Structures are given as structure tokens and as C-alpha cells.
Chain A
Amino acid sequence: MNELIRLLSYMICIAAFLGLNLAYLGWVERKGAGHIQRRTGPKDVGPYGLLQPLADGLKLMSKQLIVPANADRPLYMCAPILTMVPAVLLFVAIPFGEHLVPREFNFGLLMMFAFASVGGMSILIGGWGSGNKYSLIAGARAVSQNVAYEIPMLITAITIVMITGSMDLNEIVRQQGGFFWNWNVFRLDKSILMPVSFLVFFICSLAETNRTPFDMGECEGELVAGYHTEYGGMGFGLFMMAEYANLVIGCSLTTVLFLGGWQCPFGLFPGPHWFLLKMYFLIWCFVWIRWTYPRTTFWGLLNLSWKYLIPFSLVNLLLTALFIKVF
């Protein structure tokens, strides 16, 4: 009974946390873009434009849902939902604090990757189901991109598993306690390439979340709006929210695996605040990159993954194995 109440309250908390993030990350992004672009960003609705997400949400929800005549109706309808589900589901395994984790799995990392790949599929379903050529191209691009970047991401994650000897996310964080040089990103004693592999993981999570410069699925200016060209109203809203949810997940995972999760850099007062601080810093980096860089080509994107990231992550894997065996 106690367990049930605990899970229920966690569910409510996650829903609230997610809702707040999805709404206000959009605001943060627009404000950030404004700051970078020498303008103010949203400012009219509420103080500092803080009520803008509500206004946007209301607008999206009050719009008619139009299903294009050419669309594959069931697929078209289920794609936005399907893209939201894994994003919400993944929060179950994220350790916000030492004792603030909805469910401690001993295979949390595996679950993360398993469900994250559903996201790519839902983009394909959306792109295919729309019955639009732009969407179809975008969907095909998004899938090959997700496949290409899951490999180096997973291999990098395996090096972390080798170092910590656990797939439990909370256990991985626990082992990074003490000062910040115990964080996996600075564990040069395990592999001298660790900071670089952090970068690899970061780039991969950029690509996995379909953010500029790797937003091949959306590709505005080339494929109109990519896989969600035909979606209006809340269908589009769900895709957009899923993007931010994936952003939060990706940054959380990077924080957990490399930046010591809820650990304090100086070993003092570890707790969820450290986790949130690191995560939001990474999210800010994502926003920053998005408004600074142009988009790569699809070709350049795949080249980067297959020719540089995958070989590098394999080398890193071998090196880590060697280091662990030797030292």
C-alpha cells in the first residue's frame, strides 16, 4: 500500500515537473534566442512574457485537428502520442537525488536506450502517415540519423558501464561521489579519452533529440517543417513537447553518466539541486548551440557518425578495457 502511494505521488510529481519543463523550456528557448539575436523575445503576455506558454497552449488546443486526405489515419493519429509516451516513461528511471528516484532499476541504462529508440520510430510513423513527400523524406532521414547516432552513444555508455560495473543509474551516480575529479568526465585513470567521449555523448544526444545543427527531421527551410508538416493544433504541440521532453531526458542522462548526477562538485550537500543545476546548464548549451550554428547536411551528419564518432567510440571502448585491466 505504501509503495502504491509512493509511486502515485511520484507519478504526479513527474507529470508536474514534465509539464512545467515542457511549457517553460519553450519560453527559455525563445528568450534565449532573443538574447542571442539582440532582441527581447516574448514580453507581452504576463511579466517577461511568462504567461506565453499558457497562451500558446491554449491556442494549440483550441485549433481544429485536420487529417489530410492522403494520410494514413491510424498512423497519423497515433504518431504524436507515440512520441510522447517514451519521453514520459523514461523519467521513471532518472535519479533526481539519492533517494529521489521513482523506481530504481538495476538495468536503468538499458531501459533508457530501449525506449529512446521508440522516439525515432514515432517520427517515421508520423512522416509516413502524413502522406506528404516532405514528411516522408524527413521521416526517412530521422530514422537513419537515429540509428547512426545510437551506436556511438551506446558504445560510449558501455564504457561507463565498464568503469562503474553497473547499469543502475543511481549506482553510477553514487560512484562519482566526492570531488568533481571523480566524475566520469574527468576519470582519466580509467581512460585518458574520457573528456572526449563526453563530447561524443553530448553530440550524440544533440542528434538523438533532433536539435540544430542535426535537425534533419525538421529541416525547416528545406523540407518545410519535416515530419510534422501536416500536423496542426495539439498534434504539432505534442511533437514539440516531446522534443523538449527528449531534451530533458538527454541532458539528464548526460548529467547522470558523466557529470556526477546529484553529486556536489566539492562533496558538500549532494542533492537534487545539483542535478537540476547541471541538467539546466546542459539544456542552456543546447539552446545556445541551436541559435548559433547552421544546419549540417544529411550527408555530413551520417559521415560524422560513421566515419568519426563510431570508430572513435570503439577505440575508446578498447582503451577503457585496457586501462581497467592494466591498472
Chain B
Amino acid sequence: MSSLAQSHLRETFELNIGPQHPATHGVLRIKVVMDGEYIDRAEPILGYIHRMHEKMGENRTWNQFWPNMGRLDYLSAMAYNHCYAGLMERAAGIEVPERAEYIRVITAELNRIQSHLLGFGAYIMDLGGFTPLMYAMDEREQILDLLESVTGSRLTYCYFRFGGVYNDIDDDFITGTRAFLKRFRPQIPMYHKLVTGNAILMDRLIGVGPVSAEMCRKYGATGPVLRGSGVNYDIRRNEPYSVYPELDFDIPVYKECDSMARYMVRMDEMVQSCRIIENALNKLPEGPVMAEKVPKALKPPNGDYHYAVEAARGTFSMRTVSDGTNTSYRMRLRSPTYSNVSLFEEASRGMLLSDALAFLGSLDPVIPEMDR
């Protein structure tokens, strides 16, 4: 911060970034008190796309709540599906066939690549480079086509079921996924060549938006934000669910704590997701994709249940309180961006406006998921 910003000769003004603003990726509003180009205080204001999913959970039967899971984070809806499926299987004690678990992992990881691709493109677009978005969209489109062929929808998936998945994947999907991986793998080094090494980009990202590991812990930040702060924490490894323990992949961790580290974590995660998918395709067992004897009207026993998965943006966890009926007594959705963005106010203090927006982009917020 300059000495001018600290001196008493200051005149501040308020600036509303959003709810309609190109940098906020949706309807996030940030009330900024600016001192020239410096930020005195940036307070995120939420709720512009609040839909009260938690109340919906109390009003619908367990099965009727499925479509809501696709509408929280529209970019990595498969992970949310996974969490809900896992939660209810834990509550009702349903055993899932292995093939279904593998299919879940494959689709969820494809979804993660897709999410990170859009995150990458949109982030560079925030920084003024429009072209990478088009490159990313090109690849993303193929993933969406693949997922559409098996789930029937392009973004708001409702593919998982209690005890398995809705339908089996076919050979076209498998060969298509393999072909996609073959095509996509060399793209990432190309992105690095085109974008990451760019002097202007490095100037804008390196050292911008420092978030220490301690700060992440205090704010409950997870996902690439936490891993960009040097903490090796990934639910897929630390709290293994599904068949992740049997698959071979690394958790990318960067110690720099800046926007560049978070960006690099996302880029590396795409490579690791490719590994996971390839591995899972090789190990894919034969068999049914739905558990037998799953009751139509689920009535999990009384009590609290908790389940967490690693969504593209961090830990997504659900806590439900069941009272033994066919609806939930209380459904709590803990979305990762909600916690990630909550540290924005503290971390952005004293930043330049353009740096703060670069920092916000590196948190990769998805607003419908924050507001729920």
C-alpha cells in the first residue's frame, strides 16, 4: 500500500461492483469502498440468486430432491450428485455396485475437467485475454457432448440415484472418452505455452491475492484455494469416498499462496483428472449399475448424517437430519465457494481494484452455489 493510501489525506467513495458486472461471473455484488484505485473495504453481498434449496429439501421426498443437486453448482453438478448419493447411501445403508462407483468417478472427473476448463477461460477473460476462453470452450464442448450422451443433460445433471446411476455407459461413451483424453492431453501444455508463460499474465498473477494456509483454515476455504496455499488436502485422498482409493493420481499442491498458484492447481488438476479417468476406464468392471432392493420411498433411520466430496471448487458437504420419514427434517448444504469467497473481504483490503478482481477470479466463484 502506498503511503498516500495510509495518510489522513484520504477521500473515499463507494463503488458497487455488480450484481451485473462482467467480473463477477453472475450476480455477486461487491460493495467496495475505494480510496482512489485502492480498496479500503470490499464487502460481498449475496442473495441475488438465492432459491432456498435447504427449505426445498424439507418439503420434498428424498427422491424428489435429486434435481436440486444439479442446480447448485451448474459447472460441477456431478460432484454434488455424488455427495447426495453418498449421503443417502450412508444414511440408509445401501451398498453400491462397483461398476456404478466407477461410472460415478468417470463422469464426475469429466465434469471436473469441464469446470476447470471454463474456470481457466473465464479467468483469463477477466484479465482481458479473450482468446483462451474460446480454446477452452472448444474442448469443453466435447465433454458436454459425452456427458449428454449418457446423462441426457448438458449442465444440470440428475444422473446418480440412491444405489447407483440412472443408466449404464455404452461403448460409444468409452471410446469417445478415450478419444477425448487423447486429444485433450496435449492441449494443456499448449495452454501453458500460450497463456501461462505470458509475461503480462505472470505479472498480473504472481504475488497477487496472497492467502495463507492459516487464513484458509480460519475461513474454511478448501479446494484449489487451499491447495494453492501449500496444504495437501483433498477429500478424495484425505476422506476417501467411492473408488478413489483404488485409483492412481496425485494431488497438485503449490506453496506460493498467490493467484498464480491457484491457477496452476486447477491446470494440474485437469491433468490428474485425465489420469483418473483413464485409470478408471481401464479398471471398469462388468456388472449392474444399480443396487438391488433399493426402496422406492427411502426412510433412513433417525439421526444426523454427514457426507463430504471434493467438488471442483472445494469441499462440498451435506448434513441432513432425518426423522425417519420420507422427507428430510433438515437439509444443510455446505458449498465450497461460500467459504472461499468469505475470505475476500479480509484478503482484499488495500489491494488495487484490478488486483482484487484478479484475486476474485482466482477464487473461481459460482454464484448459484454460493447463494443456494
Contact = CB atoms under 8 A, between A and B. Distances in A.
A and B touch in the complex (CB under 8 A): yes
Interface of A: 33, 36-39, 133-134, 137, 212-213, 215, 219-222, 224, 291-300
B172 to A, nearest CB: 25
15 contacts: A36-B131, A37-B131, A37-B134, A38-B134, A133-B15, A221-B127, A222-B22, A291-B131, A293-B200, A294-B124, A294-B127, A295-B127, A295-B129, A298-B37, A300-B204
Q: Which size class do B's interface residues fall under?
A: 20 to 34
B35 to A, nearest CB: 12
Contacts of B357: 221-222
Given A38-B135, A133-B13, A291 B130 contact: yes
Interface string B17-47: 0000111000000000000010000000000
Interface string B164-203: 0000000000000000000000000000000000101101
B41 to A, nearest CB: 16
B204 A294 contact: yes
A91 B198 CA distance: 36
B138 A296 contact: no
A289 to B, nearest CB: 11
Contacts of A36: 131
Nearest to A296: B200
Given A296-B203, A298-B37, A300-B200, 10 more contacts: A37-B135, A38-B135, A39-B134, A133-B13, A137-B15, A220-B22, A294-B127, A295-B204, A296-B204, A297-B354
Nearest to A141: B37
A41 to B, nearest CB: 11
A297 B134 contact: no
Contacts of B201: 294
Interface string B337-372: 000000000000000111101000000000000000
- Interface majority SS (helix, strand, loop, mixed), chain A: loop
Contacts of B135: 37-38
Contacts of B126: 221-222
A292 B199 CA distance: 12
A215 B128 contact: yes
A291 to B, nearest CB: 5
Contact of B128 (A33, A39, A133, A213): A213
Interface of B: 13, 15, 21-23, 37, 124-131, 134-135, 138, 198, 200-201, 203-204, 352-355, 357
Given A294-B198, A295-B200, A296-B204, A37 B353 contact: no
The 6 closest A-B pairs by CB, nearest first: A295-B128, A294-B129, A37-B134, A294-B127, A297-B354, A221-B22
A311 B132 CA distance: 34
A299 B138 CA distance: 33
B357 to A, nearest CB: 5
B195 to A, nearest CB: 8
Contacts of A212: 128
Contacts of B124: 294
B149 to A, nearest CB: 23
Nearest to B138: A38
B23 A222 contact: yes
Contacts of B138: 38
B150 to A, nearest CB: 26
B9 to A, nearest CB: 17
Nearest to B353: A222
A221 B200 contact: no
B200 A213 contact: yes
A306 to B, nearest CB: 15
Given A133-B13, A221-B127, A291-B130, A297 B21 contact: no
A218 to B, nearest CB: 9
Given A293-B129, A297-B352, A298-B354, A137 B134 contact: no
A213 B199 CA distance: 11
A271 B149 CA distance: 60
A265 B37 CA distance: 47
A221 B357 CA distance: 9
A139 to B, nearest CB: 13
A294 B22 CA distance: 15
Given A36-B131, A295-B128, A221 B204 contact: no
Contacts of A293: 128-129, 198, 200
B76 to A, nearest CB: 23
Contacts of B13: 133
A136 B96 CA distance: 59
B23 A221 contact: yes
A291 B129 CA distance: 7
Contacts of A291: 130-131
A299 B352 CA distance: 9
Interface-central residue, B131, B200, B354, by most chain A CB under 10 Å: B354
B130 A37 contact: yes
Nearest to A216: B354
B19 to A, nearest CB: 12
Nearest to A218: B128
A164 B176 CA distance: 65
A89 B198 CA distance: 38
A66 to B, nearest CB: 17
A33 B130 contact: yes
